[in-house]
Structure 1
Amino acid sequence: MTDRHIHAADSASAPRHGELTGMPVEFTAFCELHRPRYLSYARVWFREPGEAAEVVRLALHALAEVWPEVLGSPNPAAAAWEILRATVADRHTPAAPAGIRPGSADEDLAILHYVVGLATPEIADVVGGDTANIVSQLRHSRRPGGREW
């Protein structure tokens, strides 16, 4: 793990007392592992830390509602990442930042690598992808004409 993302203990989105009680230990462990990286990603799209934390909280609540199905899916990390992406896109306003909207999966990988500072194995863990495929997609995102982050 890098030090560039928000650590769980420092996170404004850490569970409040009584929040998501009764969830299986697997869910709690999943949230502890992924919440800091999710928050770092959300902070790219929401300038106010409280707003980014709220979006992550909403995404984790949405994940909790479908946790048994997600856990039984072939790739729980990928399913959870899509819930986060959808929550970010739903809550994002076109005015922030710089008028761009959450976009493609390739852009997300570039954000996680170049802005958040995650190494490719960490990105693979967060998005539920294959490290070699992520390396290839990151190379593609650096080609001329790609978006500057």
Structure 2
Amino acid sequence: MPFAPAYAPHRYNRLPPLEFTALCELHHHRYVQYAHLFLADLARAQAAVRSALEYLADHWEEILTTSNAAACAWKAVTHHVRAAHPGSRAVRRLTDHQQDLVLLHYGLGLPLRDIAYLTGIEEPAVHSQIRAIRIEPDQQAHRPDGLSLPGGEDTC
């Protein structure tokens, strides 16, 4: 359990709930990858993810009452990542949700089923939303870290 106890030791008088630990184990790496791509700063990315997981630990009992804990967790992560860099938009012409899908699919190269699992969105919905986002080949922006993202000069 490398991640969950680090985010929740003072929140619980015992080990964190198994579900919280499982969520951290399953998604922490992808959360940090997403945050790093969005913020272009690993230390800030790790801090944003830590903040999101601390929030989740504080509200875990409430989150478990929702229909989709993974979707709630993803929403918390994206909120904390964006808060770490106010005004930053990786692709300015897209909504925040579309931007997340672009970063996950094109930036991190995640297959649609992995995006669905990570974000808590049904795979067919992810597929249709990705297809609805028009990326022009001449709008590819090349980042110094070797990643290519759609959106031209408005990339992070």
Query: Which TM-score band applies after superposition, normalised by the shorter structure?
Result: 0.7 to 0.9
Q: Give, in whole Å, the separation in 2 of the partners of 1:113 and 1:25.
A: 29
Unpaired stretches in structure 2, ≥5 consecutive residues: 10-14, 140-149
Paired position in structure 2 for 1:108? 100
Question: Runs of 4+ in structure 1 displaced over 6 angstroms?
Answer: none
How many residue pairs get aligned? The number is 135
Identical-pair percentage:
34
Counterpart CA distance in 2 for 1:83 and 1:16 is 15
Query: Does the aligned pair in 2 maintain the 1:124–1:130 contact within 8 Å?
Result: yes
8 Å contact from structure 2 (residues 3, 24) kept in 1: no
Structure 1 alignment gaps of length 5 or more = 1-7, 9-13
CA deviations on 1:16-48 (whole Å, 9 max, x unpaired) are 975423311111111010111111110112222
Aligned to 1:20: 8
CA distance in 2, matches of 1:56, 1:74: 22
Q: Which structure has the bigger radius of gyration?
A: 2
Q: Single out whichever of 81-90 and 127-136 deviates more from structure 2.
A: 81-90
Partner residue, 1:117? 109
TM-score, normalised relative to structure 2: 0.75
Please, what is the CA RMSD of the aligned residues?
2.8
| Higher RCO (C-alpha 8 Å, min separation 6) | 1
Structure 1 counterpart of 2:143: none
Residue 132 of structure 1 aligns with an amino acid whose one-letter code is P
Cα offset, 1:115, TM superposition: 0.3
Task: Report the secondary structure of 1:139's partner residue.
Answer: helix
Q: Write the letter of the residue equivalent to 1:91.
A: A
Aligned with 2:71 (options 71, 78, 82): 78
Change (3 A) 1:143 1:35: same
Q: Which amino acid aligns with 1:62?
A: Y
The 1-side partners of 2:103 and 2:57 are apart by 25
Q: Which residue is 1:32 aligned to?
A: 25
